[in-house]
């Protein structure tokens, strides 16, 4: 099995190498990661400048002892997680059997997937038709990756035995807890808004600066069965994603709202 591993926390992030160590039990792992932290860049790509990439050293945690069949190689990219995924699949690695993004430090729940570099980078695997997994643990401070790494190993081994035929994009959130404190595993739906932004203002004109942080937990929408709910209940959440922002149900309502506007606009041409 050939596995592409990207992330948004950068090539030195412990979660990346925890994932590499787990995935090499299922196949060869091709790490292609940003040279620095890129959290929160979503699915952005570098389109207006060349992107540098070079081979990188595999983290020493993987060279010690443990027997595993798969080889691990690494590239570091001076770009976004999306750049990493595109360069890997188009040039550096080519076609793969599985794309994994993570293991991210910090959860990516509900509408966070719109901002997440972990999920945003993985989109480039999904749109190319590869089975794709984004995986995060629920803590930025002192994250515990063991549960997430073990889960990745099990899922990758299942995919190696039984290749998913349909296109598949899973967003997985694992509590940052020892395995024996995790309450279960649940396939969930995407919840609503999970984090809000706060803005801090500094300085005076013309040197005003604003600092945006995503640090306001919003818990209102934690309905049972959502990823947010599962996470609050110390469960591993596995949410199938697709790309579907279009709101077709609203087309008639918007047509009514704007009735007469096309004629109004076009009749004003002379
Ligand atoms: Mn991150």
Residue 13 forms part of a structural domain: yes
pLDDT at 65: 54
Residue 105 forms part of a structural domain: yes
pLDDT of 45 > 70? The answer is yes
193 by DSSP, 3-state: which?
Answer: coil
Q: Are strands 195-202 and 209-217 parallel, antiparallel or unpaired?
A: antiparallel
Residue 251 forms part of a structural domain: yes
Centre of ligand 1 to C-alpha 267, Å, is: 51
Those residues with Cβ within 8 angstroms of residue 68's Cβ, 6 or more apart along the chain or in another chain: 21, 24, 25
Residue 208 forms part of a structural domain: no
Closest to 234 (Cα-Cα) out of 139, 117, 105: 139
Q: 221 and 189 in contact (C-beta within 8 Å)?
A: no
Centre of ligand 1 to C-alpha 15, Å, is: 10
Closest to 76 (Cα-Cα) out of 93, 62, 56: 56
Centre of ligand 1 to C-alpha 5, Å, is: 14
Residue 199 forms part of a structural domain: no
Centre of ligand 1 to C-alpha 214, Å, is: 12
Centre of ligand 1 to C-alpha 7, Å, is: 7
Q: Kindly report the average pLDDT of the chain as a whole number.
A: 93
More reliable by pLDDT, 267 or 189: 189
- DSSP for residue 226: B
Residue 168: CB atoms within 10 A of its CB come to 17
pLDDT of 72 > 80? The answer is yes
Burial of 228 (0-12, 13-18, 19+ CB in 10 A): buried
The residue range of the domain holding 108 is 2-193+221-267
Q: 27 and 1 in contact (C-beta within 8 Å)?
A: yes
pLDDT of 50 > 90? The answer is yes
Q: What average pLDDT does range 165-174 have in this prediction?
A: 93
User: In total, how many domains does the chain have?
Assistant: 1
Give the pLDDT band (50/70/90) at residue 30: very high
Residue 198 forms part of a structural domain: no
CATH of the domain at 104: 3.40.1210.10
Q: What average pLDDT does range 219-225 have in this prediction?
A: 80
pLDDT at 66: 63
Residue 225 forms part of a structural domain: yes
Centre of ligand 1 to C-alpha 216, Å, is: 17
């Amino acid at each position: 099995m050939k596995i592409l591993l990207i992330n948004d926390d950068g090539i030195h992030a412990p979660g990346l190498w925890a994932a590499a160590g787990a995935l090499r039990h299922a196949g060869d792992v091709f790490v292609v990661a940003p040279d620095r932290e890129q959290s929160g860049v979503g699915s952005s790509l570098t389109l207006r400048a060349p992107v540098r990439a070079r081979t990188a050293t595999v983290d020493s945690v993987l060279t010690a002892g443990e027997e595993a069949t798969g080889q691990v190689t690494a590239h570091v990219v001076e770009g976004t997680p999306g750049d990493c995924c595109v360069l890997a699949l188009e040039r550096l690695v080519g076609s793969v059997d599985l794309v994994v993004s993570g293991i991210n430090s910090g959860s990516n729940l509900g509408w966070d997937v719109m901002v997440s570099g972990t999920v945003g980078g993985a989109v480039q695997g999904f749109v190319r038709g590869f089975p794709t997994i984004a995986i995060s643990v629920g803590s930025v401070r002192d994250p515990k990756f063991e549960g997430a790494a073990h889960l990745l190993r099990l899922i990758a081994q299942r995919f190696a035995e039984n290749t998913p035929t349909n296109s598949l994009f899973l967003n997985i959130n694992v509590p940052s807890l020892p395995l024996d404190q995790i309450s279960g595993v649940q396939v969930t739906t995407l919840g609503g808004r999970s984090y809000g932004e706060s803005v801090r203002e500094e300085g005076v004109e013309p040197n005003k600066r604003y600092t945006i942080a995503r640090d306001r937990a919003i818990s209102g929408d934690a309905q049972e069965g959502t990823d947010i709910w599962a996470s609050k209940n110390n469960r591993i959440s596995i949410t199938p994603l697709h790309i579907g922002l279009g709101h077709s149900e609203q087309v008639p309502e918007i047509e009514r709202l704007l009735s007469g506007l096309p004629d109004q606009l076009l009749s004003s041409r002379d």
